[in-house]
Amino acid sequence: MRPPEFKLNNPPEDLISAVKFGPKSNQYMAASSWDGTLRFYDVPANQLRQKFVQDAPLLDCAFMDIVHVVSGSLDNQLRLFDVNTQAESIIGAHEEPIRCVEHAEYVNGILTGSWDNTVKLWDMREKRCVGTFEQNNGKVYSMSVIDEKIVVATSDRKVLIWDLRKMDSYIMKRESSLKYQTRCIRLFPNKEGYVMSSIEGRVAVEYLDHDPEVQRRKFAFKCHRNREQNIEQIYPVNALSFHNVYQTFATGGSDGIVNIWDGFNKKRLCQFHEYDTSISTLNFSSDGSALAIGCSYLDQLPETPATVPHPAIYIRYPTDQETKQK
Amino acid sequence: MGRKKKKASKPWCWYCNREFDDEKILVQHQKAKHFKCHICHKKLYTGPGLSIHCMQVHKETVDKVPNSLPNRSNIEVEIFGMDGIPAEDLRDHERQKNGGKSDSDDDEPVAKKKVEYAMSVPPPMMMPPNMMPPHMLGQYGMGMMQHMPPLPPYPVPMMPHMMPPRPLFPAAMATTSAAAAAAAAHHHHAAAMAQQKPTFPAYSNATISAPPTTNHAGGASSAPPSGPPDAQQHQQRPPAPPAASGTSAAAVTTKIMHPQEDLSLEELRARQPKIQARLAAALASLANPQSRKSPSNNGGPSTSIPTTPPPPSLAGISPTGSNSSSGMANSIVVSAAMSKAQEVSSYHSYRNHSQYK
């Protein structure tokens, strides 16, 4: 009987920017960090299998296939790491730091979103950029890709929806329904909509279909807040991840809390215990059997606390009760 | 305005002082608000019941009744509806209800009273119960205040009778930024809220226990921001709690745990000198050894990194353990040599490397 949760050995030394499980696997996981490392873990063995060291902080990573991981970094570079041969190479660059990288299975390419207000598509065999897409003058803060659908959340609270079959222009541009800066956006596994979170402890569930019948189902809710005496502290919701099987999703906030929600029935399914510090990233494995939780302080307070907890990655094997719609 | 007539007492909840028309509803309220397991959401019947459930089922101790007033949070007390309330508390409640004398031993912290006072809400005594529509409260109050020196605030107990209808989820209306802004604009609403707020101090513990609701979603998604978002944000992001004069109308100050500047945490962090220094070093090393960029140089120890992890001795990914369907996994070279030793050495190389961090 495996424990419901454990802490991964050899975590990154600085802010964990992303944790990602390998495709179709809950065994291998990659983590990128501001310490410049890309780490590759064997989760059940609780072992660090491989570590690539860069000079610049990494802002995101994504699996291309089980042995190839790409990263986007603060020095604007897109890198490819081969876990098997330990090779690393630079594929290309943006004008500004690359905030998000995603593998677009549909075209077998890599998508990168950057603070230079563009998303680029990369052909990884020829190692070149095959398309640059303007994001309406907004820095890319978060991005999600499933099959042909792309949603991009930008710094000016816009959401741009793209279709990989027709990339000459976005197919939809929306104002964020949240009043504050967008922190994270994720498509539903069924691609019918997306959830997004803001720095003001709020999460919106939105649908792509314009039909008023469908649009009526959209909603937003407050979370990741606590009240001490008369002060309500509202925390950014930094991370979202969908459970691909049950279509429920997890949110992680700067309050160190992870919640799992059923967005269709507007219910919270569970809340885990409080972690030492902010949840900076979350990722369900593709079968939903494991949830990786990256905890690291995000410098969100005006003054750095005296002791900043060491970054940590927790792996949790949630029960059906915690993740399944009731 | 004469004194309020004595009314037949309504059932009330010992945990949060809220009154109900019907004891059946009270029991439902207690099950939902005070006796619900925070882990599996099972509704229990009493405080001790909840405590035992959490202990046995989840191995967790619950030391307080959820959403209860600070002095009524004892989990050991067995209360079901109106049964089990200590006689003393029953008497107190009765007295407060009829009361009105400023014996005010109610549970309100002083701060909350002050807020009421500041908002010039007329003392509840002056108001005919159940007669004033909420939007009138403020106006009427203002008028009164002109020929009436400010009185010390009266205790809250009478307020439930003059409450405007309350939304289903009080947490939803507690100072959403929009609501607060609107409230500030319409003073009478603010007054109404100020009155309303302290009546339910219990909800101050509610925090995130409120389930997602559509109630405020409408507000959040359909109502367009009533001003430039920036202006609103700055108004709504007090650097320190006391500065938030605008939001204090609702007796609760909100504080967003995010820097005031409208940039992502990552951008702000990237500006820190230590990160800038590292970035400069990274860019310099990118600029110099051009060879790094060539794909043919894959995997070669890069000149820019003083110490690279040891060469491909590794890759101990065993295909047997892989539940991946990707063919790539099988092509992985299995090396039993992948070991702690390598991890350790690469760790040390990292330490060396990161000295200019």
At B70, list the tokens. 């600070």
Q: How wide is the angle at C-alpha A206 spanned by C-alphas B170 and A219, nearest 5°?
A: 15
DSSP B208: G
Measured in degrees and rounded to the nearest 5, phi and psi for residue B328 equal: -55, -35
Parallel, antiparallel or unpaired: strands A249-253 and A258-262: antiparallel
pLDDT at residue B236, as a whole number: 42
pLDDT of residue A145 exceeding 90, the answer is yes
What percent of chain A has a predicted confidence (pLDDT) above 90?
Answer: 81
Q: Which chain A residues are closer than 8 Å to B259 by Cβ?
A: 300, 302
pLDDT at residue B253, as a whole number: 83
**Chain B contact present for A15, CB below 8 A:** yes
pLDDT at residue A220, as a whole number: 94
pLDDT of residue A115 exceeding 80, the answer is yes
Question: How many helices (H) and strands (E) are present in chain A, helices listed first?
Answer: 2, 30
Domain annotation covers residue B209: no
Which amino acid, residue B205?
A: N
DSSP B153: P
Mutating which of A227, A240, A287 best tests the B interface, going by the most B Cβ atoms within 10 A? Answer: A227
Domain annotation covers residue B27: yes
CB contact under 8 A, A51 and B350: yes
Give me the residue from A48, A97, A231 closest to B241, CB to CB. Answer: A231
pLDDT mean across residues, chain A: 92
Kindly list the structural domains of chain A, giving each domain's residue range(s) and its CATH number in brackets, ordered by start: 5-323 (2.130.10.10)
Residue of chain A minimizing CA distance to B304: A55
Tell me the mean pLDDT in the region A31-56: 93
Residue of chain B minimizing CA distance to A140: B264
Residue of chain B minimizing CA distance to A229: B204
pLDDT tens for the 357 residues of chain B, in order: 455 445 557 888 988 888 888 888 899 899 998 998 888 888 888 888 888 898 888 888 888 888 888 888 888 888 888 888 888 888 888 887 776 444 434 443 333 333 333 334 344 444 444 444 444 443 443 434 444 444 444 444 444 444 444 444 444 444 444 444 444 444 444 344 444 333 333 433 333 333 433 333 333 333 333 434 443 343 344 333 333 333 334 467 888 888 888 888 999 988 888 889 888 888 888 887 654 444 333 333 333 333 334 333 334 444 333 343 333 333 333 333 333 334 434 444 444 444 443
Estimate to the nearest angstrom the gap between the alpha carbon of B24 and the chain centroid.
Answer: 29
Chains A, B: CB pairs < 8 Å: 270
Q: Which chain A residues are closer than 8 Å to B319 by Cβ?
A: none
CB of A305 closer than 8 Å to CB of A264: no
Rg (CA), chain A: 18
Instruction: Break chain B down into helix, strand, coil percent, rounded to 5.
Output: 50, 5, 45
Number of domains in chain B: 1
**Which residues in chain A (211-250) have CB-CB distances under 8 A to chain B?**
218-227, 229-236, 238
Nearest alpha-carbon partner for B302 in B284, B278, B280, B286: B286
Domain annotation covers residue B85: yes
Which amino acid, residue B149?
A: P
Give me the residue from A15, A24, A180 closest to B326, CB to CB. Answer: A24
Tell me the mean pLDDT in the region A270-274: 90
Domain annotation covers residue B323: no
Domain annotation covers residue B165: no
Domain residues for B36?
12-96
Domain annotation covers residue B130: no
Per-residue pLDDT tens digits for A162-212: 999 999 999 999 999 999 999 999 999 999 999 999 999 999 999 999 899
Please tell me the pTM assigned to this model. Answer: 0.59
Measured in degrees and rounded to the nearest 5, phi and psi for residue B23 equal: -65, -30
pLDDT at residue B120, as a whole number: 40
**Chain B contact present for A115, CB below 8 A:** yes
**Chain B contact present for A97, CB below 8 A:** yes
Residue of chain A minimizing CA distance to B337: A49
**Chain B contact present for A54, CB below 8 A:** yes
Could you count the other beta carbons within 10 Å of the beta carbon of residue B320?
Answer: 7
Residue of chain B minimizing CA distance to A127: B295
pLDDT at residue B289, as a whole number: 62
Write down the residue that tokens 């807020």 correspond to: B115
Domain annotation covers residue B346: no
**Chain B contact present for A200, CB below 8 A:** yes
At A143, list the tokens. 């991005």
Domain annotation covers residue B352: no
pLDDT at residue B258, as a whole number: 87
pLDDT of residue A56 exceeding 70, the answer is yes
